[in-house]
Structure formats: C-alpha cells, structure tokens
Structure 1
Amino acid sequence: MTAERQSRPDRLMRVLHRVVSGVEWLHRNSRLDAGPPRPVNHDFSLVISRISTEADGVRSLRLTRPDGGALPAWQPGAHLDVLLPSGWKRQYSLCGPPGERRYYRIAVRRLPDGGGGSREIHDELAEGDRIVARGPRNAFPFVAGRSYLFVAGGIGITPILPMVRTAATRGADWRLVYAGRSRASMPFLDELAGLPADRVWIRPDTEFGIPAAGGELLAHAPLGASVYACGPVPMITALRLGLPGSTARGLHWERFSAPPIVDGRAFTVELTRSGRTVEVPADRTALEAIGDVLPDIAYSCRQGFCGTCHVPLLSGQVRRRGRARGDDVAICVDRGQGHIAVDL
C-alpha cells in the first residue's frame, strides 16, 4: 500500500511535466511561426485603390496597404479613424465583406454643410492617394444571437451591411428595413438585391410620403429579435419609443450625430496640464468646447460608450451620461456641476 501511494504521485508528476513541457514548446514555436503580434490601434498608411459612386452624393473608398499586406482583423460594427491630409479626423464604418483583410471599404456621404471631412474626400482625394488610418475600433459591437431586426437610415447602412451578411452566414433569423429619402440617395441597393427579397424591405420616403414611424419599422422584427439600428436621431428615437410595444427584446443603436443636450447647464473645465480653463455653455458639450483650444483631442463615437475621450477627473462632480467609470469623465456627454478639473 505504501509503495502504491508513492508511485501514483510520481507517475502524476511525470505526466504533468510532459504536459507543461509540451505547452511551452507549442508556445515558443507558435510565436516563432506567427511573428510579433500586430497592434490594431495604431496609425498606419493606406492607399485609396478604388473609388466608386454608390448613390447620389455617396462614394465608397477601397483602402489597401501600400505593400499589399493583410490588414488588422475587424468585426461588424467596427470603424476606422481616418486622418485626412488636411488634418481633419473623421470616423467611418467598415462596410466591406466581413472578415475581409485584403482591403477595407468605407462609404462617405458628401455633406455640403458639414465640418469639411466629407467635402475633402469627395472633392480632393483620388485613386492612388494615401491617407492615414487608426484602428479599427468597435463602439457598435454585434453580439451573437438567434434573431435580429436590422434598421438602417440612409448612410447608416454602412455598419449594418456587414451585420446582415454575418447573420445570414450564421443561419440566424433576420430581417432588414432600409429607409432613406429616395432610392437614388440610398447606397448599396445593388448589393442588397442579392439577399432574399422576403427578408429585406426598402422604404424610401418618396414612395411612402412620410418617414417611417417606430412601430412601422419594428413590425418586421422576428419574435424576440435583437434590433440593431443606425441612422438619424429621429429614427433612433422612434425605435426607442416603439420598442416596448413590439415583439423585439432589445435595441442597439448608433447615431449619425451626438445625442442632443437636454436640460444642459453651463460649467467650467480646468485643463490642468494645459493650464487653461474652458467655459462650456449650456448648449455645447465639454468635448466641443475643449476642442476649440485643443483641436487634436481624441474622440470617436461622441455618444459616451467607446471610451476614446474618457479623461481622468481630478476634482469636481459630474452628471454622468456615458459609460465612464471611477475617476474618469466622458467629455463628449458627461456634464460638470459647477467647476471640474481634468487631466488635459
């Protein structure tokens, strides 16, 4: 009995030693084969290899590495920060085939009254030009599920299109409602024509007279569906109001713009590293006001959840509207109460 008790631990230790040695060998050799890990949240150069007209005022750009190498992996809902030659930084959803790493595709609607980024892309960039990108990052993650309703408004089809293709590949039960001003203004209708017609509803305002109501959009949801929507604020608001009376069970959305400021109050932000104090009016965000004096400040979603603009809060109290936690503040949506100091 004594010998048996001793031999079992000995055999066990020998087995464990072989297992550990094998794991260490695999770890060393897999790293040698794979090479150093490639970071995904850094600046890198891209070439505009193709520009296509997708709709009235909408161009798509196919972006590749100058050396033709593989691009960082991405998931549906991801976007790129695009650093334009003029210095503008803009965010555009990846809308190419899911899993494609030979190229990225983004689509840009020209906004004559916008900040200038879309005009630069439409009027000044050409095939063969280079831009700098950062990312990809995902502030609009697509979660695995059994059934979905996808709702897109105009250029909001860009993050939705890869989600639709992924849901179809996975065999999920899905429906797509695609709204817009007119068919001529709605990009990628030709690609959607290749999807099952009974799962896709194209709804231009010109053919129905008025924009769709929330209940009208949600009427297409499969039972228990998760709703993924991207579009203008009125469309998102209509979906949020209509959700409780629908068969859907949850809503995930991305807006075209930052959420409106409701009951805003003026406050001041002390930028301790910069030695400045910024007045934030009741109708502006801290991000906008700080951007006037620090134009290079980083931001992405402007909705409080991606974390790009979160900065350490050194003193003061804030009304939290985003997802900043602990001692951070989301300067795109959080508002100070009186005077706050941040590490900027």
Structure 2
Amino acid sequence: MLEVYVSRKTVEAAGVCSFELMAANAAELPAFTAGAHVDVQVAPGFTRQYSLCNAPDERGRYLIAVLEEPASRGGSRRMHADIAVGSTLTIGNPRNLFDLDLSGERYVLFAGGIGITPILAMAHTLIAANKPFELHYCGRATERLAFLGVLSQAPFAAHVHVHVDNGPAEQRLDAAQVLARPALGDQLYVCGPSGFMSHILATAKACGWRDPQLHREDFAAPSQVLEGDQPFEIELSRSGRVIQVPAQKSALEVLLEHDVAIESSCEQGICGACITPVLTGEPDHRDQFMTAAEHARNDRFTPCCSRARSARLVLDL
C-alpha cells in the first residue's frame, strides 16, 4: 500500500472533482500504463477503485477524477465532501484490467461521461507513441464533461470530437458512421455507462469489427440479484463448517457475517479481490473479471456477486 496526500483538488465539471495525489514521502510513484486504476481507501475498511487519467510517464503524481453519484454507496460522496487538499490517503499499487494494446495501427476511443478518465490516459499514451486516433467524448451537456479544457487544446484538440445531448443535431454521435469500414489494424476502446458501451459495441459488430478489436471497461456491474435466485450452501473445507446463503444475500455478505476472513473491494465482480478457490460444486459466475475460459474451469468464483448452480459449493477456506 502507498501513502499519498492530495496536492490539488479541482472541480472539473458539474459533479466531478479531480484529485492530484503525490507520495507522502516525496518519492516517485510506481509506474502505470494507460487504463490502470488504483484502489483508494476512502475510509477505514472502505475502498473504491478510480482510474488514473494523467500521462503514464509522469512519476511524481497520480490524477484521478470522481463523479459524485446520488446512488453512491458512500465512496464518491466521501471523496467530494471529506477529502481536501492536504488530506492523506492510502492507495494500492496501480492495476490494469483495461490495458491499451499499442500493436494496433489506428484507434477509436469512446468516452461516456466519467468514462473519460482511463480514456484520457490512453490519449496521452497514443500521442506519445505517435499513433493515429480519434476520441469521441459523449455526455448530456458540456458542463458535465470533465477535462474539456485540456482536451480542447494541443495536442488533443485535433483528435477530439465532443457529442452532447443538448447540442446541435449535427454534432450528435453517429456511431455507425464513425465505425464504418474497419481495417484489420483498428482498435476500439470504450468506457462509460453500460447502455452507452452496449450501443457502441453492438454498432461496431454490425459494422464488421471483430471481438479482438473491441475493448470495454465497466465502472459498475449490473445488479447481481436475479429473479429466481435460489439459496445454496457453502462448506468451508478446512473446518467442515456449512453456511446457508439465502436467495436475497450474496455469499460474501454471509461469509463476513459468519466472521470468515475474506478480502474484498468493489463488491460488484469487477476487481477480482475476493476470488476464492472452489474445490467441489458448480458456481454460477456473474463477475466481469475472469475470462470465459476461467469460468469454464469452475475452480474459482467471486463470492461478492456469483452464486451456485449446484446445491453446495465447497470452498478452500
């Protein structure tokens, strides 16, 4: 873990603040690549993930931006209300689940709202690598779009196209036109609300883009409580203890209620922190962290969101 302090806090747009973080000991910060995020301990036992949006070659600072969301479980509200210049924070080393593949020949980047954060770091990297790209930045209104000042200036301005719902019709995003006639060396990266990303990716596939060319990052997973969910049992292999998981609770909730020590962070199946080995039984995988091949092995699952297809899961706990 790293100890950092907030050297600058800036209102970037309506409801969006950026936080410049520097090492408390004045040392260089660990290197990162575009698309990376850090775990931020907003309060003791309360950790959230935020994308790094500054240029990855900057080793003296990290820059994150936080959207204050009405539906927040506390992370964004605490960052906006309680964290100020001079505040100290504990963060994790950068991790990247949305890595930018620089072997492509041309890049099309899409950002919806606060989804600009990892996309901005990618723009920095693509400019440094002299790679051709275009960035389509979408939102409800310009006053809600963070970093517009930076993006409207060199070296970004020539690459950026802004599309807002309340603007003139001619600047609205026509995804089919943007994505028409893809070349084999093209790469697409998208981050933003789930519906926005689904629209972009569905349009891309209809235009002939192949799955290996398409990359997305989810900031929030869909609700994992589904109609028809059934209770199941968890057996802790090391003690033989059996715990009942009711339909309306996650396995993680129940494990923590029974004082079973298990690491967790996002609680949405995005970060992978709570992955737990499965010895017997068939999980019902609902995370967005593991690959389809990893799901098929059924030897691990994410108790924060996944459930069981079998009546019992035996865990290596």
Between the aligned partners of 2:15 and 2:38, the Cα distance in structure 1 is 20
Secondary structure at the counterpart of residue 89 of structure 2 = strand
The answer to whether structure 1 residue 45 and structure 2 residue 3 are counterparts is: yes
What does residue 264 of structure 2 align with? 298
Mapping for residues 238-249 of structure 1, pairs under 5 Å: 238-246=199-207, 248-249=209-210
Contact 2:263 2:273 in 1 (8 A): no
Output the CA distance in 1 between the equivalents of 2:204 and 2:253.
Answer: 32
**CA contact 2:231–2:247 (8 Å) conserved in 1:** yes
Matched, 1:164 2:123: yes
> Given the two structures, how large is their TM-score scaled by the length of structure 2?
0.83
What is the CA–CA distance in structure 2 between the aligned matches of 1:157 and 1:124, rounded to whole Å? 24
Distance in 1 (alpha carbons) for counterparts of 2:208 and 2:172: 21
Q: Which amino acid aligns with 1:317?
A: E
Where does residue 307 of structure 2 map in the other structure?
335
Do the aligned partners of residues 289 and 177 (structure 1) sit closer, same or farther apart at CA in structure 2, a change above 3 Å counting? Answer: farther
Query: 1:79-111, CA deviations, whole angstroms, 9 ceiling, x for partnerless residues?
Result: 000012353110000011222110111100111
User: What residue in structure 1 maps to residue 47 of structure 2?
Assistant: 89
Q: Deviation digits for residues 10-67 of structure 1, max 9, x if unmatched?
A: xxxxxxxxxxxxxxxxxxxxxxxxxxxxxxxxx1211111111111111111111112
Amino acid at match of 1:215: A
Q: How many Å apart are 1:123 and its aligned residue?
A: 0.7
Q: Give the direction of change, closer, same or farther, for the CA distance of 1:142–1:48 in structure 2 (3 Å limit).
A: same
Q: Deviations over 1:160-195 (max 9, x none)?
A: 101112112212121111101111011001111124
Matched, 1:120 2:86: no
Equivalent position to 1:188, from 130, 141, 147: 147
Match of 1:206 in 2: 166
Range moving further from structure 2, 271-280 or 101-110: 271-280
Cα offsets for 1:223-276 (capped at 9, x unmatched): 742111111110111122212222544210011211455776324252626956
1:67 maps to 2:41:
no
Structure 2 residue 99 is the aligned partner of structure 1 residue 136 = no
Equivalent in the alignment of 1:19: none
Measure how far apart 1:122 and its partner are.
0.7
Which secondary structure state, in structure 2, belongs to the residue aligned with residue 46 of structure 1?
strand
Indicate which of 198, 206, 225 corresponds to 2:186: 225
**SS of match in other structure, 1:171:** coil
Q: What code does the residue aligned with 1:80 have?
A: V
Matched, 1:215 2:176: yes
Offset at residue 71 of structure 1 (A): 0.6
Higher mean alpha-carbon deviation, 85-94 vs 149-158, is at 85-94
Task: Tell me if structure 2 keeps the 8 A contact 1:149–1:227.
Answer: yes
Q: Distance in 2 between matches of 1:280 and 1:213?
A: 45
Q: Which has the higher contact order (CA 8 A, sep 6+)?
A: 2
Residues of 2 paired with 1:126 and 1:150: CA distance? 32
Amino-acid identity (%): 33
Corresponding residue to 1:314 among 279, 285, 297 = 279
Match of residue 67 from structure 2: 109
**Match of residue 110, structure 2, among 151, 161, 165:** 151
What are the Cα deviations for residues 193-215 of structure 1, in whole angstroms up to 9, with x where unaligned? Answer: 12454421101111157985753
The answer to whether the 8 A contact 2:123-2:156 is kept is no
**Secondary structure of residue in 2 paired with 1:135:** coil
- Point out where structure 2 has 5 or more consecutive residues left out of the alignment: none
Structure 1 unaligned residues grouped into runs of 5+: 1-42
- The 3 A distance-change label for structure 1 pair 290 and 149 is farther
Which aligned pairs between 1:13-32 and structure 2 lie closer than 5 A?
Answer: none
Displacement of 1:328 = 1.6
SS of the aligned residue for 1:148 comes to strand
C-alpha deviation, 1:143, in angstroms: 0.9
CA shift for structure 1 position 217: 5.6
Alpha-carbon spacing, 1:178–1:287, altered in 2? closer, same or farther (3 Å): farther
Q: Contact between 2:111 and 2:192, CA under 8 Å: does it hold in 1?
A: yes
Larger Cα-atom Rg: 1
Decide whether aligned partners of structure 1 residues 309 and 86 sit closer, same or farther in structure 2, where only a CA change above 3 A counts: closer
Match of 2:37 in 1: 79
Deviation at 1:314, TM superposition (A): 2.3
| Alignment RMSD | 3.0
Tell me which amino acid in the other structure corresponds to 1:258.
Answer: A
Post-superposition offset of 1:278: 4.6
SS of residue paired to 1:235: helix
Helix, strand or coil: the match of 1:206? coil
Change in 2 beyond 3 A, CA 1:71/1:220: farther
Q: Distance in 1 between the 2:261 and 2:172 partners? A: 36
